[in-house]
Structure 1
């Protein structure tokens, strides 16, 4: 009777196996070098943004306060996923401990959610600056800024803890291979032998709420911003107002565009490998590009970064 049964649940899971981006051994050195370069650029670029904002008093404004938090979040999100992949490629071992996997799931949700909230808050900041310029300093006061960031981080942590605790109740099958380069919660749930209906309901419900609210806020803010800009009589005024939103809009399109790309690729392709490659565009590329977007499009940030580099050299 036992021989005819499905593989038994393995409640005492010690480790999972991350299959990564490619199985071909010849591609591993190339992938290692590419991701090491991307990770170092991400860390260096975002650190420069944080240092530039910290040391330049001209950048001690709400917009740059949120930008420094965004850069910190980008560093944390990349550090959650990329170093473990680099270690696995270097050691030629694909394993990750059960505790390490749950920690990675939790951290990825925290920093992914926090970045989502920050982009929504930054859109609100631009809305107040353009649509209510006379009240800007009153509305965006230091106490309110700190409250927005702390509340967003608190919600992100609670969101991650709920999903992590729900994972603890699951038992897993003998097949513990994750077709990804990090422990992504959806992929982990697919390996469970116990019923994951409640997990999936909570996952999609909380993702809709905590992802939908900031995204809706961004759409509302920019609808009001565009409406306000179109009413401006001066073409120079229109250009100046819109240029203050350019960097943020680019980051928003990159973050949500790659996110929707991963969702579409997973919905329309049955190849887990293609979905994994698409996930790189969501979990690695935006974090690397954000410093370049803000430094190249913003004269103040560019000048401050140059001063920091000059002092280092």
Structure 2
């Protein structure tokens, strides 16, 4: 198949079944289908699980047959399917009480210290009949996301908007004071345990947002969060403006190299260590791609990126 390297036989796996694993911290951006076969009651767990499918992906990065790359007209992953067999989506959209104050359970009494003469019993359930699906419904989730995504971010928006110190400091452009205050007085408090990582996930953007960007969006200073590719296009446009490449036919190859160098730690390591043979098995930027880049730009782009491009914003 054109999509696989023969040496990577495990890459041909198409189905992976896990129980309580790979729900967080596992990044496989080309996932197109997720199946939920158990009920979920924690909103945090649900966000993390469905988040495995929200990663953006360019399928050309894993298309190793250069002869058919030009024929791919829509390489970007634009959607994924979540097969929910236990109505978790409906539960968190319609039933879950996001404003409920959770009461801490009373500590269990040690059995030897219990004064009750009634032995504790554990209920069990056994079903040997057919496992029937009660109903089937397909629903498209748009860019606004699900309620569970919006609620966390909206609660944070309300929190910072209602804070007079934050509002005044943002209006005055005192960003150092604002960011320091939010980190000290708003983040990691018992009410919501807001932190930058959770807000980034709730915003569902394919790159690393800064706290300043989030606050700018909340206070209407920017209309929306730009995607990783939008920022890459802007950075490349600046590069072209500064250096005005005369090789018009090589612009696509130069852009491919520029984007790969900015977004991939592995590509940067290969270029900096000059281990160019490793490009033969690199899924992001191949030896063929590198040969298409004019020699001048093979050194110019790394130097430019180091001097003028902040790589932190492009991390997923």
TM-score of the superposed pair, with normalisation by structure 1:
0.30
Q: Which has the higher contact order (CA 8 A, sep 6+)?
A: 1
Higher helix share: 1
